[in-house]
A = this chain, B = another copy of it.
Amino acid sequence: MSDGPNETLERFLSVQGGIPFFAALGASMVEAVPGRSVMRLPYAPHLIGNPDTGVVHGGAITGLLDHACGMAVSSGVEAERPNSLYGMRGLATLDLRIDYLRAAKPGADIFVVGECIRVTPRIAFARGRAYQESEEAPIALATGAFMITEPRTG
């Protein structure tokens, strides 16, 4: 690994700040270490999917799970093969499955965790989960496969 968690976090934080969709959701980074990323999605009116109940739209959670898994894979690949990627460039989501285990509670923040579970030369796999009060009571679980498209040979 070419740098420690703090440098990885700093680099990722600076990259994240520049991702418009991430900013538009209103999400922020909580933790970023090689192979793992944690984000916070504060409850906000523009995320609501059901005006009657105030529940956040599943699509907002899904979008952030995709992002968190991609970040975890990106830093996981970087840790195993330094300089093969930079940030999330060179990475493409192949597929993603989301399981919704329980409804999100209106008014409470949502935390989203992505973890890289396996890196092969061309493909990497990640798992993710979204929760509110406790990581043991997830709202949603995710599994995804990512293609490493542009290994840098610098």
Bound complex: CA of A92 vs CA of B93, how far in Å?
A: 18
Of B50, B88, B100, B143, which one neighbours A89 at CB under 8 angstroms? Answer: B50
Bound complex: CA of A63 vs CA of B56, how far in Å?
A: 12
Check: A4 CB closer than 8 A to any chain B CB. Answer: no
Give every chain B residue within 8 A of A60 (Cβ-Cβ).
Answer: 21, 63
Please tell me if the beta carbons of B21 and A49 are within 8 angstroms of each other in the complex: yes
Least CB distance, A143 to chain B, in whole angstroms = 6
Least CB distance, A6 to chain B, in whole angstroms = 24
Give every chain B residue within 8 A of A88 (Cβ-Cβ).
Answer: 50
Of B21, B101, B117, B125, which one neighbours A118 at CB under 8 angstroms? Answer: B101
Check: A147 CB closer than 8 A to any chain B CB. Answer: yes
Of B21, B89, B96, which one neighbours A46 at CB under 8 angstroms? Answer: B21
Check: A64 CB closer than 8 A to any chain B CB. Answer: yes
